Structure 1
Amino acid sequence: MGVAEQADARGGARFVDVSDPELYRADAWQVPFRRLRQEEPVHFFETSLHGPYWAITKHADIMEIELNDAVFSSASEWGGIQIQDDGDIARRKNLIRMDRPEHTGHRRTVAPIVAPTNLANMTDLIRQRTEAVLDGLPRGETINWVDHVSIPLTTMMLATLFGFPFDEREKLTYWSDVGICDVNAPDAPVTSEDERRAVLADMAARFRELFDERAARAPSFDLISMLAHSDVTRNMDAETFMGTVMVLIIGGNDTTRNSMTGGVHALHDYPEQDRLLRSDPDLVRNMVSETIRWQTPLQHMRRTAREDIEFRGKTIRKGDKVVMWYISGNFDEEAFEDPDSFNIARPNARRHLSFGAGIHRCVGDRLAELQLRILWEEILKRGLRISVEGPPERIYSANIRAFRSLPVRITV
């Protein structure tokens, strides 16, 4: 699976098709995006692995499109939010595959779970679990940080948010992996769309059981109960129900899980930043923002033009696929000084695009930041030294920038 290239409108130089998942598994996306930003930041790929699309690569341009939801649609009926537009995964409705006003009611239904008051109530529990995971890590032997830290912490949090049976929580990780995987990847958990559909049908059936149980009793403060008791969501059709559950699982898993691993890897690549963090633990909050910028767990979001529009001298036609490459905007030289460096004191680290913007800004952004902040506070409190023992293994995906493994050795 090679990296695709395409002649530009001038017929000379060629641009790499940045929708090729191999770019991200090989961690080879930096140069192609830098060239697009410098030479043609709004570029139309006539052919690609996923059909024709506009690549939006500058921070300011991405923000403008994000905030113009009247013209640029996220709705399933227009194609959804991923560059892929085939298969019923892309067509399935959920709150981030809806436009206003439908989107508003669905977002309001789930938003209370991550309201400031509830985050304050969950802080002690998150810290206790983080302490237990870190204290249980073997010292002096090579382990996979993803399996020993990132997955356990995010899976426990997901189970809590849903009120999902704790002894079944590993299913949540599996369903998330199935939902986001590229079935063409050699190590994908499923190998066909039919197999994915069957797994997600099992997921929906289990959640429907829990949904019906919660609907039959007084409301409780968890996502399933909120969906079951809301006038907006209690009567969702089967496809919207499956899509809603899927996006809540993925949204509660991937940003936090991969940023937990990404921070370890970044500090390994920039040891002077590790020394700075240990000398000034007050930098943890900003380090979290810089990690989320640096990692960019969600690499792109797609919109579809509802009408013809002139944008940066280009004519985007009604129905055109418009792909906002967050991973490029987060490394835009005009938005961030020396963007290729990991800098935990970066003054504008919070300007990153990893949570999106506008009506579709990640509803769980503060929870993700809280989990990451607590993890690094507890690492520093214990004086843990995390030595990366080999290269990371990244997944084959143009959607999620994720780690399958990162070998580390823990010492004090």
Structure 2
Amino acid sequence: MDGAKQESSTDYEDELASLPIDQLDVARPQLFQRGYAPRYLRRLRHEAPVHYCADGEYASYWSVTRHRDIEMIELDTDTFSSDHLNGGITLTSHPDDPQFLPSFIAMDPPRHGEQRKVIAPAFSPQRLGEMTQSLRTWSREILDGLPIGTTFDWVDRVSIELTARTLALLLGYPHERARDLIRWSDAMVALPGSPACPTIEQKLAVMQECFDAFDQIWQARLRAPAGNDLLSMIAGGVETRELSPDELHGNLLLLIVGGNDTTRNSITASVLALDRFPRERQKLDADPKRLANLVPEILRWQTPIAHMRRTAMRDVVLGGQPIAKGDKVILWYLSANHDEEIFADAEDFRIDRANARRHLSFGAGIHRCVGARLADLQIRILWEEILTRFPRINVLHEPERSFSTFTHGYSSLLVRIPHRHS
């Protein structure tokens, strides 16, 4: 926690049961760290699916919790802006705050499309095909190095390691320093005052360390942008080679965080889900072709990015509620992916869920995650290799969760592998 009074489980239970709905503030990192946020979001979804919090920990905001409403907002970019200058894409972002920078995800049309199309080829089927062998080699190396019969942290040994190597390849960063990317990503999404980031000054210093390292790479790419890494593509793009330093750094931040948090937390969640729902692992062992549906169901069940934010550009009525121009609107993906109107028995993990791909973990419309297919590929290849090695991965304790309202993830997951396949 961040030094504040340590609340007990009873505190949250009592609050959730007794607090009037108009006083509920779900946007508190403590709720996410303790695993209670989904229950608070469920209450909002059932009682006030378009809910105004007038005086929350991060000021006033609207919570939108139903799948259909979030999908509609994502598709209406004229009414609901993502632009950095209008407030950006997170609950806490503000254009005058130095920890938040412009990037193509925090842009509205037409600039969003102009910058996105330069980066998109890095995630094309051809490029993913070229990366496949590296992903498989790394998955084998990582899994073959795991201890048998000994407790270890899956997040550190597997989730972070594979994610770091993939990010380094994608960005053209030296592989021997790949874990720099994870450390920088963790700082970029940390809330000042949290254990990972005690002060804003410390956060900005770590961010600057990242930008200084990539500025050197950027200058080299401007001179010779012939590679297939993302910085080469940005340096070679007519619309992007003249990016301002803030826009370059903002896009780097986006690519590092997007490539880290989504995949890393999904890899961890896959082990947790198949431990909690052992019949689903049995189904997977019986028919490995079910792996095709593993990733979308993991992304739905886990939801590694808890929310995105939009700003209302005009007065609008949503779900019978009057949203004023300039209001902050939070799209709770974590709620949409558990919306009972869309997903039956939504709290259960089902490897054969027919509509798992309707999840909103990658967003919808023009802002749908550009790296979605790479995340799918990493997790699928890793599990292809797991199935040939380990009949069981036992989770020993509840995971340690992230102190964040933006990333819905894990800082640690202790596991033990009893034995390998003979």
Q: What TM-score do the two structures reach when normalised by structure 2?
A: 0.93
Please list, as runs of the form range in 1=range in 2, the aligned pairs for 1:199-214 lying within 5 A after superposition: 199-214=206-221
Counterpart of 2:234 in structure 1 is 227
Counterpart of 1:53 in structure 2 is 61
Cα separation, partners in 2 of 1:294 and 1:286, compared to 1, 3 Å: same
**Equivalent residue in structure 2 for 1:102, among 111, 134, 146:** 111
Counterpart of 1:121 in structure 2 is 130
Please list, as runs of the form range in 1=range in 2, the aligned pairs for 1:5-404 lying within 5 A after superposition: 12-13=20-21, 15-86=23-94, 88=97, 91-185=100-194, 187-188=195-196, 190-404=197-411
> Alpha-carbon deviation of 1:376?
0.8
> Alpha-carbon deviation of 1:99?
0.6
> Alpha-carbon deviation of 1:12?
4.9
Q: CA RMSD in A?
A: 1.7
CA distance in 2 between partners of 1:405 and 1:142 (Å): 12
> Alpha-carbon deviation of 1:288?
1.4
Q: Which runs of 5+ in 1 are unaligned?
A: none
CA distance in 1 between partners of 2:120 and 2:37 (Å): 34
Once the two structures are superposed, what CA deviation does each residue of 1:12-56 show, in whole Å capped at 9, x if it has no partner? 555531101111111112321111111110011111011111100
**Are 1:15 and 1:36, in contact at CA under 8 Å, matched by a contact in 2?**
no
SS of the residue 2:258 aligns to: helix
**Are 1:18 and 1:33, in contact at CA under 8 Å, matched by a contact in 2?**
yes
Aligned length: 406
> Alpha-carbon deviation of 1:85?
3.3
> Alpha-carbon deviation of 1:152?
0.6
SS of the residue 2:311 aligns to: strand
**Are 1:114 and 1:367, in contact at CA under 8 Å, matched by a contact in 2?**
yes
> Alpha-carbon deviation of 1:270?
1.1
**In percent, how many aligned pairs have the same letter?**
43
**Are 2:315 and 2:323, in contact at CA under 8 Å, matched by a contact in 1?**
yes
> Alpha-carbon deviation of 1:88?
2.3
CA distance in 2 between partners of 1:388 and 1:293 (Å): 20
Give the counterpart letter for 1:258 in structure 2.
N
Give the counterpart letter for 1:208 in structure 2.
D
Cα separation, partners in 2 of 1:261 and 1:315, compared to 1, 3 Å: same
SS of the residue 2:192 aligns to: coil
> Alpha-carbon deviation of 1:317?
0.8
Q: What TM-score do the two structures reach when normalised by structure 1?
A: 0.95
Give the counterpart letter for 2:325 in structure 1.
K
> Alpha-carbon deviation of 1:380?
0.6
**Are 1:296 and 1:330, in contact at CA under 8 Å, matched by a contact in 2?**
yes
CA distance in 2 between partners of 1:218 and 1:44 (Å): 48
